[in-house]
Chains A and B, each alone.
Chain A
Amino acid sequence: MQQVIARYIRLIAFIMLFHSLTACEKWLDAKPDESLAIPATLKDVEAILGNTSVFNTVYMHVGESSADNYFLTDSAFNAMVFQGSRNAYSWQGDVSQDESPSNWQTMYKQVYTANVALDALESVERKPEEAMRFDRARGVALFLRSRALQALAVAFAPVYEAGNAKQKMGIPLRNTIDFTEPSVRVNLEDTYKQIVDDMIEAAKLLPMTSSHPMIPNQVAAHAYLSRFYLSMGNFESAGKYADSVIDKRWELLNYNSLNTNANFPIAARNTEVLYEVLVPVPMQLDVSYARVDSNLYRSFHVNDLRRIVFFRTTNNGVQFKGNYTGSAFMFGGMALDEVYLTAAECAVRRGNTERALALMNQLLQTRWKQGTWQPLVGLSAAETLLLILTERRKALLMREIRWMDIKRLSVLEVQHRVTMTRILNGQQIVLAPGANRYALPIPEVVISMTGMEQNPE
């Protein structure tokens, strides 16, 4: 009998042991990888948005590659490794061919990453003591998404015109983290509406300043709004936001303080940098291949310091070295000089020629040798506008801005429209104002996969 009891005790002990191994909901709650997390906290969101490798060290170059700030000799053209480089330069075919990741992919990754942050914020409680952090995180996400979509729109959609934007194709707006949702091009009006609305909301949420120019702040948001509105031909709003930046922050970089012999005379994070993005240089824009148009170079007065700050003359042509990055990286962010030029242009277009001239004088005296700049006074509105556009063309080189300017000018005054030419193997190629090519072709692989409409050739 005792033996039987002992046996049953053993059996029960065994069953308990069995149970203890399998009853373990808590035990399975442990995190499988310490460095992994399901984004659920404000800290996670900040870390996602703080990844400078995603947002601040990559940007587009297809606009600059298609613009007239550089030219390639025939041998340089032939030495290109990617067909996309040649296509961008010669204005035919897919500008993204052979390149991986394409600009399209790079920028939509920023959109996706911002969406992941916005999605995670939905489940984060906005605690009163963290309200500022919460708002800033949301502001940063909107800022980044808006900025990325606008850059894509400038390259891959036609120019915005207030009257007919509903009839024109915009770009796909992705506001979801679900990759199974199909991408559809919306019209240009809706494209720009979201871009602008996001940036306006971001400006409200962001703090005035940030600890590093790679971290978005309100001033940078306003500067971007001025760029966006300028590209849309809304000079009223563009001017308003540009002025608000200049009112808050007005320290221009005096080029007289620069070491003009340096490889890269303009330091990174100088006082003009409002938002910093470093752009790796594609082969076609690399100084080994790209040459600066000699007419452009000659347009700089000998007293204009930019002639030696921006350019290096070698025995086989003029090379660009005026990056706002202190390095070979191109600058893809936002700087104060652009805001001055935008404010001046808007001022003259809004009838305030005097303010426009004052802004230009302020800007240019920091660009010329000390004491050589003769302040301009009494120019007509048309003369002032011409001066501003000329100076704008000379100032914002290799920043992915020229393509936007060429496009928007094509729907403004006839005399300011730009006709670009290239000479390749003895043949002249012309890109006339308003050409279909102004909306660069969307990568072929995206078209074939989504069936979305390609821009006309």
Chain B
Amino acid sequence: MKKSLAPAGLVHLFYCVLFLLWAVDVEAQQLPDILIAVKNAETKEPVAGASIYWKGSTVSGITDSNGVFRTTRGPGDTILRASCIGFAGAVQRVPVEYDGGPVVIWLRPLAESLQGVMVSTGYQRLPRERATGSFEYVGKAELDLQLGSNVLQRLEGIASGVQFEQHPQRPNVTIRGVSTINGPKDPLIVVDNFPFEGDINSLNPNDIASVTVLKDAAAASIWGSRAGNGVIVITTREGSRQEALRVELNANVVTASPPDLFSIPVMKTADYIGVEQLLFQRGYYRENAANPVAFSPVVELLFQQRNGRVDSATVASRLADWAAVDVRNEYRRWFYQRTMNQQYALNLQGRSGVLQWFMSGGYDQNHGSLGQLYRRASLRSTNTLQLRPGIRLRVGFQYSSMLNESGRPGYGSITMANGVLYPYAQFADENGLPGLIYKDYRQPYKDSTGMGLLQSWNYYPLTDWQHDRRRSDNRHLLGTLDLQLRLLKGLHVSILYQYENQQSLQEDWRGEESYFTRNLINTFSQINRANGTIRYAVPLGGISDNAFGHLRAHQWRVQANYLRRFGVHELSVVAGAERRQRKEESETYRLYGVDANTLSHVKVDLVDPFPHYVTRGNAFVPSVNGLGGTDNRFVSMYVNGGYTILGKYTITASARKDASNLFGVESNKRGVPLWSAGAAWNILKEGFARRWKLDDWRLRVSYGYMGNADPSRSAVTTIRYVGSALYTNASSAQIFQYSNPTLRWERVGTFNIGTDISTRARRLVVTADYYIKKGVDLFGTVPVDQTTGVGQSVVRNVASMRGHGVDVTINSLNTRGAVLWSTQWLFSYNRTKVLSYYLNNVLGRNFVSAGNVIAGMPGQPVYSIAGFNWVGLDSTNGNPIGVLDGKLTTDYNAIMSRTTADEIVYAGSALPVWFGSLMNSVKWKGLTISVNLSYETGHYFRKSSVSYSALFSGVGHSEYARRWQQPGDELYTSVPSLIYPANANRDRFYNQASIHHLPAGNLRLQFVHLQYNVPMRKKAMKYIKGVECYANGSQLGLLWKANKEGLDPRYPDGLAPRPQWGGGVRLHW
């Protein structure tokens, strides 16, 4: 009846009028017309062109440009169904007592929808159907399924082929497995148009519109020498085309319990004391009057007993008391707490005339499990100005400020001088008063030295952290200008500029009360025993370490975009040039004798050696002062073209060349230009495919090369100035990189073949890709002859590797109707193997690996689990038995020095071979629940165990309790007997033996997300347009694991992240 409605922005008024009309009409007792409004469940924008019909009826219509449709109702018409391309269909029951208000049908956009999605490479946005490359698109709705401050972490379990790991020595994010061995392993992060140089944490996830992962050469090779590990393009939100002001507020809170310290495999305190007693008897501990280094309380007590100062009854009772202590309880009780993370985000958007704008602000406040604080405030604004037809200017600005403050000491951070802490340490006595922990020097020495002139030399961790604080402050500013103008028909040029400025300031403050400061003051005190005076080389007062960092990055780009259709031909070319400059400056300095009240400090002599108070040796007052500056510059040229004929066949090609000012590696001279080529076939447009009940079927194939530049590598000898030399104070430099004239940038070649299939109404959408990756000229760490003088290993282009794999994404809409059930299945398979690796020896021990170093054995996975052949324990003495030259042996030196590479036992890959996730979402009325399971399998990990050499230096392991003690034990244990003195090679052999290789397969509950869209009454809609409440649990733990030892294969040494529970609300106006 009304085909054209009120202009956008007046919808409210329109609804009000309708309401009045209905109110007038209410007396008539007729079945009234029903007003239907179809809206995008994600953006709240009206959906135009959606088809509407009554279930069981053929009468239907299409929503107008305001997403509105009006229909009459026949008898029995109770359920409305709406569907639209790019959205999951939805149904809505209309009650018999229709109240006359608009029936709102929310359509959830299919983020994985193939049509209509524009993928962004950072250089261009192109419709997915014209792409020949492999792109993974993740929309806002998927990103919002996980909470947290870091946008990348939200991709976990959502993006196919993307893997996350929390491993200190392996890359954290990998796309399609590793493609390099020793080069940089992180993917390139691009925000909007340019590589992001700052801290990824400075991005507010609420400002992100979508993330595109560029996986193959056709997608990523335009990023040239930095694309080897894949590219993640983050697109931020922009202003809406709607006139109306729209406001969105999002607030949530997430909490988790403190880490489970009891998952750490440490030995029982009683066992630990037993070992200390044994070592004491064997004369392991030696008193040295000249350097009274602290012993643990047990050893100290035993010395007292030997010197007749305590009787054996006292010793026994004290040891019994200590045996009951577990320092993990102490940590838990005094230092750990629940984490509490709060996040607030507000954004406003609208359009006024030629200006389209978006503004947002965010505030995050996280309290960690040790009471540490993280605070981020961010502000963002994007404005697009249509200056004249054909001239568009976009101005963006983002500012964020991050604050980090240290908290209490975490497990393992409180140690004695030897770097370990006895497990019977007590941080507080029974009255809660701070407990004394032995630190650097023996208590009798501390008590008797210094004539009362020194600072207290006692260490009380319970309170010490209050005086030992670290605080860092980061400010990140990003400004962008993007001018686009139409030059000729089909030809646009854009000029882009981005400025990034990040300033960081870190202060480590150690007050005069802190142990650090007191210890340093004492160490540099000189006492004149004749007249009882003291001189300080390190003055009284606090110590303040300051570090400033300043990063500035300029990026300029000039690009021409040509897009034109000639009949059945369609040509699209982008070509451009860019310059990047990344300048970093840093400064660190330390102030001594700082009085926090007056901000005064005292000068110290850093140049001359002073006698160390305890050892009387030469010692210099420590200095951290230094300056640094880097200036990396790049110039690149690139071109990327696509040609489509008949809308069916597409071919693409791209090429790129990079030059830089980096030392030595002159890629512009030596490097081959990086390129890619691809083709796509839109099968469904063929005549023969018309009858098929498909919405989409395409085939893609691509091949090309990407590079992996490592700015830290150099082909020529470089030296680093290290300030003044010790003692002489003359200018001093160290050799930083060794002459390495054959060095080149790494290259990764990728072949990709993929298909996209979608059935009618998108009930089933499948994307499948098979790829082969080949890395050549890879950097490899090569053990080098020590005689060369360059150390024990060097890095050269010595390796090549091949990886292949499959990425499959299946989205199915299982039920439609009142209950909407959809499933997303991500399946990935990835195997890498070393093709060649330069190693000029075949020494087996160089190939032993726990998966944290590259084991360069051709034919084996790049990261593999490999170890020595394990036989068992000797039944007479509990010695572990190995194999050498086919014979059993316990000659561990020979095993280490003579085992050849082919005698090494390979378990398999250290990285998952099969991995993926399964997500089910069920929507009923306003309620949506999503459950995501992730799995990894086909890989292995190495379990840790006891090492007696480590144990005698104080590092124990829970397996100690299972050690071989008498003949017969070998039947049920594989832990070798204790021997003294320890044999380091025996320990090494045992810990690296194949018995510790365990399958790492696991299934975990990644997250559960519950969302409720509160149905809005029309009265309330005047004040608020939408309310969504959500609750979320993530990292919910293991559901299944392949190993029988009860170890979490991701965290075999404990401290797996705890489940995080959160909830929040999103409000729309």
Task: Report B430 CB to chain A, min CB distance, Å.
Answer: 36
Say whether, besides A35-B721, A50-B731, A56-B727, A11 and B792 are in contact (CB < 8 Å).
no
Does B332 make an interface contact (CB < 8 A)? no
Does A21 make an interface contact (CB < 8 A)? yes
Q: Is B735's CB under 8 angstroms from A48's CB? A: yes
Task: Point out the residues of chain A lying under 8 angstroms from B615, CB to CB.
Answer: 263, 327-328
Does A288 make an interface contact (CB < 8 A)? yes
Q: Is B981's CB under 8 angstroms from A29's CB? A: no
What number of A residues sit within 8 Å (CB to CB) of B?
A: 98
Task: Point out the residues of chain A lying under 8 angstroms from B725, CB to CB.
Answer: 50-53, 214
Interface residue stretch chosen among B655-663, B1017-1025, B1030-1038 = B655-663
Q: Which of B969-1026 contact A (CB under 8 A)?
A: 980-981, 983-985
Q: Which of B935-992 contact A (CB under 8 A)?
A: 949, 953, 980-981, 983-985
For A90-121 the 0/1 string (1 means CB < 8 A from B) is: 00010001101110110011111101100110
B981: which of A36, A80, A289 is its contact (CB, 8 Å)?
A80
A116–B576 Cα distance when bound, in Å, is 42
Task: Point out the residues of chain A lying under 8 angstroms from B728, CB to CB.
Answer: 50, 52, 211-212, 214-215
Q: Is A179's CB under 8 angstroms from B790's CB? A: yes
Does A446 make an interface contact (CB < 8 A)? yes
Q: Is B786's CB under 8 angstroms from A104's CB? A: yes
Interface residue stretch chosen among B158-166, B178-186, B677-685, B711-719 = B711-719
Task: Report A6 CB to chain B, min CB distance, Å.
Answer: 10
Q: Which of A368-425 contact B (CB under 8 A)?
A: none
Interface residue stretch chosen among A39-47, A160-168, A238-246, A359-367 = A39-47
A36–B663 Cα distance when bound, in Å, is 10
Does B730 make an interface contact (CB < 8 A)? yes
Q: Is B487's CB under 8 angstroms from A7's CB? A: yes
Say whether, besides A35-B720, A79-B286, A172-B787, A449 and B618 are in contact (CB < 8 Å).
no
A289–B576 Cα distance when bound, in Å, is 70
Task: Point out the residues of chain A lying under 8 angstroms from B663, CB to CB.
Answer: 32, 36, 38
A81–B495 Cα distance when bound, in Å, is 64
Q: Is B283's CB under 8 angstroms from A75's CB? A: yes
Q: Which of B696-749 contact A (CB under 8 A)?
A: 711, 716-722, 725-728, 730-736, 738-739
Q: Is A268's CB under 8 angstroms from B661's CB? A: no
Task: Point out the residues of chain B lying under 8 angstroms from A18, CB to CB.
Answer: 558, 576-577
A170–B716 Cα distance when bound, in Å, is 31
Pick from B495, B789, B985 the residue with the most CB of A within 10 Å: B789
Task: Point out the residues of chain B lying under 8 angstroms from A11, CB to CB.
Answer: 487-488
Q: Is B288's CB under 8 angstroms from A288's CB? A: yes
Q: Is B628's CB under 8 angstroms from A48's CB? A: no
Task: Point out the residues of chain A lying under 8 angstroms from B953, CB to CB.
Answer: 81
Q: Is B556's CB under 8 angstroms from A112's CB? A: no
A450–B788 Cα distance when bound, in Å, is 11
Q: Is A108's CB under 8 angstroms from B787's CB? A: yes
Task: Point out the residues of chain B lying under 8 angstroms from A80, CB to CB.
Answer: 981
Q: Is A52's CB under 8 angstroms from B726's CB? A: yes
Task: Point out the residues of chain A lying under 8 angstroms from B290, CB to CB.
Answer: 263, 287, 312, 319, 321, 328
For B476-497 the 0/1 string (1 means CB < 8 A from A) is: 0000000001011000010100
Say whether, besides A46-B731, A47-B733, A177-B717, A32 and B631 are in contact (CB < 8 Å).
yes
A289–B287 Cα distance when bound, in Å, is 10
Q: Which of A327-343 contact B (CB under 8 A)?
A: 327-329
B628: which of A34, A278, A329 is its contact (CB, 8 Å)?
A34
Q: Is B717's CB under 8 angstroms from A108's CB? A: no
Say whether, besides A36-B736, A47-B733, A263-B290, A446 and B841 are in contact (CB < 8 Å).
no
Task: Point out the residues of chain B lying under 8 angstroms from A325, CB to CB.
Answer: 618
Q: Is A183's CB under 8 angstroms from B788's CB? A: yes
Q: Is B731's CB under 8 angstroms from A47's CB? A: yes
Does B924 make an interface contact (CB < 8 A)? no
Identity of the chain A residue whose Cβ is nearest the Cβ of B741 in the assembled complex = A178
Does A264 make an interface contact (CB < 8 A)? yes
Task: Report B711 CB to chain A, min CB distance, Å.
Answer: 7
Does B897 make an interface contact (CB < 8 A)? yes
Task: Report A268 CB to chain B, min CB distance, Å.
Answer: 7
Task: Point out the residues of chain B lying under 8 angstroms from A22, CB to CB.
Answer: 577, 635, 637
Task: Point out the residues of chain B lying under 8 angstroms from A56, CB to CB.
Answer: 726-727
Task: Report A164 CB to chain B, min CB distance, Å.
Answer: 25
Does B605 make an interface contact (CB < 8 A)? no
Task: Report A374 CB to chain B, min CB distance, Å.
Answer: 34
Task: Point out the residues of chain B lying under 8 angstroms from A179, CB to CB.
Answer: 738-739, 784-785, 788-790, 794
Does B76 make an interface contact (CB < 8 A)? no
Q: Is B284's CB under 8 angstroms from A36's CB? A: no
Does B617 make an interface contact (CB < 8 A)? yes
A33–B731 Cα distance when bound, in Å, is 18
Between-chain CB contacts (< 8 Å), 30 pairs: A17-B495, A21-B578, A22-B637, A32-B711, A34-B630, A35-B627, A37-B720, A51-B733, A52-B728, A97-B893, A100-B792, A112-B789, A116-B717, A119-B717, A172-B787, A177-B738, A179-B789, A179-B790, A181-B788, A212-B730, A215-B728, A263-B290, A288-B288, A312-B290, A327-B617, A327-B618, A328-B291, A328-B615, A446-B785, A449-B784
User: Taking beta carbons and an 8 Å cutoff, which residues of A are in contact with B?
Assistant: 7, 10-11, 14, 17-18, 21-22, 24, 27-39, 43-44, 46-48, 50-54, 56-57, 73, 75-76, 78-83, 93, 97-98, 100-102, 104-105, 108-113, 115-116, 119-120, 172, 174, 177-179, 181-183, 211-212, 214-215, 262-264, 268, 276, 278, 287-289, 312, 314, 319, 321, 325-329, 443-446, 448-450
Which 5 residue pairs of A and B lie closest in terms of their CB atoms, listed nearest first? A112-B789, A75-B283, A327-B617, A34-B629, A47-B733
